[in-house]
Amino acid sequence: MTGTRNLCFLICLALLPLALAAQPAESPPRRMPNFVILFADDLGYGDLSSYGHPSIRTPNLDAMAAEGQRWTDFYVASAVCSPSRGALLTGKQPNRSGLYGHRSRVLFPNQAGGISEENTTIAEALRELGYATGIVGKWHLGARPEHLPTRHGFDYWFGIPYSNDMDGTDERVPGAYFSPRIEYWNVPLMQSQSVGQEYHDQILERPARQETITRRYTQQAQEFIDRHSDRPFFLFVPYTMPHTPLFPAPEFAGTSLAGRYGDVIEEIDWSAGEIRRSLERAGVAEDTLVVFTSDNGPWLSMRTDKGTAGPLRNGKGTTFEGGIRVPGVMWWPGSIQPGVVRDIGSAMDLFPTLLALAGGTTEDILDGVDLSGTLLRGEPGTREVLAHYRAGELYALRKGPYKIHLITEKAYGIGPERNEHETPLLYHLGEDPGESWDLAAERPEILAEMLEAVREHQAAMETRPSLFDSR
């Protein structure tokens, strides 16, 4: 199967009217909903007020969490940028899609690797159903023309192809992250459009003026909503911040109680509120599911320019909870069953969930599950097991409240001590969300059950060669 396009992928566009007609009477057919995914970069589990931050104010996201669903156990598939984004867009573990690297854990400018034609993205699937598709923000799945978002399902892209600390210039001073200047990082701001069989790509400015980037992403998102309010749309907004270097807009600089990091988060919260108000003004709020989450946990080596994982252990780069569990806010007025959801959810679940809500199907093998029953009717989640990989290797697995660590490694930038555990670590995430007390010796029957779950998972996983390492 590897190396050949998976022809099983099929969306039953022709069958859509039948599928809608077959819905039970209590859920009348609706127009295909719009989807907006707001995706912060390196924002930690504990960085929103509604997730317990004591000083950062996030009233817009908190209101959306209160009116919609606030997920306590929402995960990304990787603790670093590129594979996490690939998993969100494909609904697959990085191993299964090939969107991971052994040598390159994330993609760097000028690298040959990146997303391939064989990866089907949620944007491609929704476009097949008639959706307008746009992305405003950071891509990070390859910077060559064939990797850009407009080649992978998006009609329109405005944003930066990779992280805002790449393309470092010689002007950088030691500690440049902590006294940041725009000219230290020569990152391009790009615009790209897919028109028929053609692509129009241009670099709008270089270096990107990062202190206005969140505001301009917001304006672009609002314009996209206004342009497409008469047809179903999918809008993906992967913010460049709070990945360091941090550049809050002048109106936000120095205004929070939590320093430059807090200023940046409060600006992202403002942005989420502006996008919400655009949906309301356009009269499509009740037809739109908005998701807010983050690509990985906080980058803990960034002094005071970092977020917090709250009660969770560690941060970006590790498969401890602080690296992979993130806020998960779902908002859809009039349709969502409001509440706090304590079931396991994953960014990989967004692909099958959005596709199901749009009335599409796929026969492709996904690692995501459809969450629409929980979103619309408050049904218990269907996911019991979630595996956690790092650089193509299985490190940990959660089943119900328990989590087993086969291999552990510290957070990004804080030392790469790798430990392959002869006896795996076992934690109960309900009793011990901070993963501080190993239960392996006390609960051998649970350990055996977890090892069986690992074997079952591995038997069902088909790993593809890395697409990031290719030269």
164 contacts: CB under 8 Å, gap ≥ 6: 138, 185, 187, 208, 210, 213, 240, 241, 243, 244, 245, 247
Least distance (Å) between residue 138 CB and Mg ion: 9
Q: Which two tokens stand for residue 450?
A: 């977890």
Which pair of tokens denotes residue 50? 């509604």
Active site residue 81: yes
Closest approach, Cβ 160 to Mg ion, in A, equals: 13
Give min distance, CB of 346 to Mg ion, in A.
16
Tokens of 366: 């996904």
Given the complex with Mg ion, which of 33 and 149 has the nearer CB atom? 149
Q: What angle do CA 197, 142, 390 make, to 5 degrees?
A: 135
Question: How far, rounded to the nearest angstrom, does the alpha carbon of residue 261 sit from its chain's CA centroid?
Answer: 20
Cβ-based nearer residue to Mg ion, 34 or 296: 296
Annotated active-site residue in 8, 53, 140, 457: 140
Q: Which is nearer to Mg ion, 33 or 180 (CB)?
A: 180
Sites of contact with Mg ion (CB under 5 A): 41-42, 81, 295-296
State which residue, 232 or 297, has the beta carbon closest to Mg ion.
297
Residue 12 falls in the annotated catalytic set: no
Alpha carbon of 299 to those of 315, 327, 454, 465: distances in Å?
6, 15, 28, 28
- Classified as helix, coil or strand, 293 is strand
DSSP secondary structure letters along 98-140: T---SS-SS--TT-S----TTPPPHHHHHHHTT-EEEEES---
> Residue 455's closest CA among 404, 411, 412, 414?
404
Rg (CA), the chain: 21
Could you say which of 53, 81, 147, 405 is catalytic? 81
Burial class (CB in 10 A: 0-12, 13-18, 19+), 50: middle
- Residue nearest to Mg ion as judged by C-beta position: 81
Shortest Å, Cβ 317 to Mg ion? 10
Question: How many CB atoms are closer than 10 A to CB 213?
Answer: 24
Are 319 and 66 within 8 A, CB to CB? no
Q: Which is nearer to Mg ion, 9 or 108 (CB)?
A: 108
**For Mg ion, the closer CB: 78 or 120:** 78
CB of 404 to Mg ion, least distance (A): 25
Q: What is the spatial distance between Cα 229 and Cα 30, in angstroms, rounded to a whole number?
A: 15
Strand pairing category for 402-409 and 393-399: antiparallel
As measured in angstroms, the least distance from the Cβ of 76 to Mg ion is 9
Q: List the one residue out of 26, 19, 18 whose CA is nearest residue 377.
A: 26
Shortest gap between Cβ of 112 and Mg ion (angstroms)? Answer: 22
Nearer to Mg ion, 42 or 266 (CB): 42
Rounded Cα–Cα distance for residues 103 and 108 (Å)? 11
CA distance 128 to 90: 15
**Which C-beta is closer to Mg ion: that of 81 or that of 341?**
81
Question: C-beta of 41: minimal distance to Mg ion in Å?
Answer: 4
| Alpha carbons 293 and 381: distance in angstroms, whole number | 18
Active-site residues: which are they? Answer: 81, 140
